[in-house]
Amino acid sequence: MTTDRTAIVLIGAILAGLIAVTQPTLIPALGISIATGAGLLAYLKP
């Protein structure tokens, strides 16, 4: 279960990053991507 949730979060962060790169008008997506990545790192920390 944890692996599935982690994969979903990673995919979401990657998609948000791609949107931020391909659609410069959607800069908030970059913030979401960074926040998601930071949250994922904190979540995975032992």
Indicate the burial class of 45 (C-beta count within 10 angstroms; 0-12, 13-18, 19 or more).
exposed
Q: Give the Å distances, CA to CA, from 11 to 23, 27.
A: 18, 18
Whether 1 shows a pLDDT value over 60: the answer reads: no
Place of tokens 């960074």: 34
What distance in Å separates the CA atoms of residue 27 and residue 15, rounded to the nearest whole number? 13
How much is the average pLDDT of 13-40?
Answer: 75
Question: Shortest CA distance to 21 belongs to which of 13, 8, 30?
Answer: 30
What global pTM score does this model have? 0.45
Q: What is the pLDDT of residue 2?
A: 60
